[in-house]
Structure 1
Amino acid sequence: MKGYITVREAADKWGITPRQVQILCKANRIVGATRMSRIWIIPEDAKKPTNNRKKVKYCND
Protein backbone atom coordinates (compact mmCIF):
# COMPACT_ATOMS: atom_id res chain seq x y z
CA MET A 1 0.00 0.00 0.00
CA LYS A 2 1.30 3.37 -0.95
CA GLY A 3 2.03 5.72 1.94
CA TYR A 4 2.37 2.97 4.55
CA ILE A 5 5.25 0.88 5.88
CA THR A 6 5.42 -2.47 7.64
CA VAL A 7 6.41 -3.18 11.23
CA ARG A 8 9.83 -4.40 10.10
CA GLU A 9 10.46 -1.24 8.04
CA ALA A 10 9.44 0.96 10.99
CA ALA A 11 11.73 -1.01 13.30
CA ASP A 12 14.70 -0.52 10.96
CA LYS A 13 13.87 3.18 10.58
CA TRP A 14 13.61 3.79 14.35
CA GLY A 15 16.34 1.44 15.53
CA ILE A 16 14.13 -0.81 17.67
CA THR A 17 12.88 -4.38 17.39
CA PRO A 18 9.81 -5.32 15.34
CA ARG A 19 8.20 -6.72 18.49
CA GLN A 20 8.55 -3.34 20.22
CA VAL A 21 6.86 -1.67 17.22
CA GLN A 22 3.98 -4.15 17.50
CA ILE A 23 3.64 -3.35 21.21
CA LEU A 24 3.56 0.39 20.45
CA CYS A 25 0.88 -0.17 17.79
CA LYS A 26 -1.26 -2.25 20.13
CA ALA A 27 -0.99 0.44 22.84
CA ASN A 28 -2.13 3.13 20.31
CA ARG A 29 1.13 5.03 20.71
CA ILE A 30 1.78 5.32 16.96
CA VAL A 31 -0.57 7.81 15.34
CA GLY A 32 -2.33 6.39 12.29
CA ALA A 33 -1.25 2.76 12.77
CA THR A 34 -3.96 0.38 11.60
CA ARG A 35 -4.33 -3.36 11.76
CA MET A 36 -5.23 -5.12 8.51
CA SER A 37 -6.16 -8.73 9.30
CA ARG A 38 -2.92 -9.96 10.92
CA ILE A 39 -0.45 -7.17 10.09
CA TRP A 40 0.02 -3.60 11.24
CA ILE A 41 0.41 -0.84 8.67
CA ILE A 42 2.05 2.39 9.75
CA PRO A 43 2.00 5.73 7.91
CA GLU A 44 5.37 6.54 6.31
CA ASP A 45 5.52 9.89 8.07
CA ALA A 46 4.73 8.50 11.55
CA LYS A 47 7.17 9.56 14.24
CA LYS A 48 8.71 7.28 16.83
CA PRO A 49 6.83 7.65 20.12
CA THR A 50 8.78 9.19 22.97
CA ASN A 51 9.89 7.22 25.98
CA ASN A 52 8.01 8.66 28.95
CA ARG A 53 9.93 6.73 31.58
CA LYS A 54 11.95 8.83 34.01
CA LYS A 55 15.50 8.10 35.03
CA VAL A 56 16.13 7.86 38.72
CA LYS A 57 19.38 9.16 40.13
CA TYR A 58 20.73 7.32 43.09
CA CYS A 59 22.85 9.05 45.66
CA ASN A 60 25.10 7.19 48.08
CA ASP A 61 25.35 9.47 51.09
Structure 2
Amino acid sequence: MDYLSIRQTAEKWEISGRRIQKLCSEGRIPGAVKIGSYWAVPSDAIKPKDERIKSGKYIKEQQ
Protein backbone atom coordinates (compact mmCIF):
# COMPACT_ATOMS: atom_id res chain seq x y z
CA MET A 1 0.00 0.00 0.00
CA ASP A 2 1.29 3.45 -0.87
CA TYR A 3 1.19 6.23 1.71
CA LEU A 4 1.23 10.01 1.44
CA SER A 5 2.62 12.53 3.90
CA ILE A 6 0.45 15.12 5.62
CA ARG A 7 1.68 17.78 3.18
CA GLN A 8 0.92 15.67 0.11
CA THR A 9 -2.54 14.78 1.42
CA ALA A 10 -3.26 18.43 2.24
CA GLU A 11 -2.39 19.46 -1.32
CA LYS A 12 -4.48 16.63 -2.78
CA TRP A 13 -7.57 17.44 -0.67
CA GLU A 14 -6.98 21.23 -0.66
CA ILE A 15 -7.18 21.62 3.12
CA SER A 16 -4.55 22.53 5.74
CA GLY A 17 -1.98 20.11 7.06
CA ARG A 18 -3.14 20.79 10.61
CA ARG A 19 -6.67 19.72 9.65
CA ILE A 20 -5.28 16.45 8.25
CA GLN A 21 -3.42 15.84 11.53
CA LYS A 22 -6.62 16.45 13.49
CA LEU A 23 -8.60 14.05 11.28
CA CYS A 24 -5.90 11.39 11.74
CA SER A 25 -5.80 11.77 15.52
CA GLU A 26 -9.62 11.52 15.67
CA GLY A 27 -9.48 8.29 13.64
CA ARG A 28 -11.55 9.73 10.79
CA ILE A 29 -9.14 8.65 8.04
CA PRO A 30 -9.21 4.84 7.78
CA GLY A 31 -5.79 3.26 7.40
CA ALA A 32 -3.83 6.30 8.59
CA VAL A 33 -0.88 5.23 10.75
CA LYS A 34 1.41 7.18 13.02
CA ILE A 35 5.10 6.58 12.42
CA GLY A 36 7.04 8.23 15.23
CA SER A 37 5.61 11.75 15.34
CA TYR A 38 4.39 11.75 11.71
CA TRP A 39 1.18 10.51 10.13
CA ALA A 40 1.09 8.42 6.95
CA VAL A 41 -2.18 8.51 5.01
CA PRO A 42 -3.06 5.82 2.45
CA SER A 43 -2.91 7.21 -1.09
CA ASP A 44 -6.37 5.84 -1.86
CA ALA A 45 -8.00 7.31 1.28
CA ILE A 46 -11.20 9.28 0.73
CA LYS A 47 -11.52 12.76 2.20
CA PRO A 48 -13.92 12.60 5.18
CA LYS A 49 -17.00 14.79 5.27
CA ASP A 50 -16.56 18.07 7.14
CA GLU A 51 -18.66 17.67 10.29
CA ARG A 52 -17.67 20.90 11.98
CA ILE A 53 -20.50 23.24 12.98
CA LYS A 54 -20.94 25.95 10.38
CA SER A 55 -24.03 27.73 11.70
CA GLY A 56 -22.45 28.75 14.99
CA LYS A 57 -25.08 26.77 16.89
CA TYR A 58 -25.16 23.27 18.20
CA ILE A 59 -28.02 21.37 16.65
CA LYS A 60 -29.75 18.98 18.99
CA GLU A 61 -30.53 15.66 17.32
CA GLN A 62 -34.13 14.52 17.40
CA GLN A 63 -34.69 11.06 18.86
Count of aligned pairs between the two proteins: 55
Larger radius of gyration: 1
C-alpha distance in 2 between matches for 1:6 and 1:53: 23
Which residue of the partner structure matches residue 12 of structure 1? 11
**TM-score, normalised relative to structure 1:** 0.81
Q: 5+ unaligned residues in a row in structure 1: which ranges?
A: 57-61
Identity, in percent, stands at: 40
- Structure 1 runs of 4+ aligned residues shifted over 6 Å read none
TM-score if structure 2 supplies the norm length?
Answer: 0.78
Q: CA RMSD in A?
A: 1.4
Q: Distance in 1 between matches of 2:18 and 2:54?
A: 23
